Structure 1
Amino acid sequence: MFTFARETPPVIDAKPVDAKKAENAGHWTSVAGYGEVFTTTELFDVTAARDHFDGTVDTGECRFCLYDARNRERHAKNAGTLF
């Protein structure tokens, strides 16, 4: 006697979830000739980053130092140097 295989319902292929970086997610951003700051896309500003590295803004007022403590060790690292 011949029997048919039991019919199974069709399986819908699950689409993988794309891991997208949120705009406000922190990431390291390189500033040419200065170094890297941990920041967000919205927070980043080249002039503010240069001020951060040059130390022309106080640590308590620096947007990068206030955003993430890892930036504090790099604050004013270029102070007193010309290049």
Structure 2
Amino acid sequence: MFRFAKSAVNLTGVAARQVRNTSTAPQDFHAKYGTGLLVGGIGFCTAVWAFVITQTGITWNLSPVGKLMPKQWREKEEE
């Protein structure tokens, strides 16, 4: 069990060093593509919801107030 724990700690240390070494590299992906991806995602979501709302014929659960009439009570006849 000791060897397993020792190797597990060693692996996590190696992984942490790899992450630290790559994090020092210049990361300009967000600077390059971030705004375009954000605008594209907003456009895509807007287009999909516009299609769903206007074309699919889904009956939305709108308020039934003023559309339903309550049933009349039937009085229980006393014996």
Class of the TM-score when normalised by the shorter of the 2 chains: under 0.3
Higher alpha-carbon Rg: 2
Structure number with higher strand proportion: 1
Using CA pairs under 8 Å that are at least 6 residues apart, name the structure with larger relative contact order, 1 or 2: 1
Higher helix share: 2
TM-score normalised to structure 2 length: 0.24
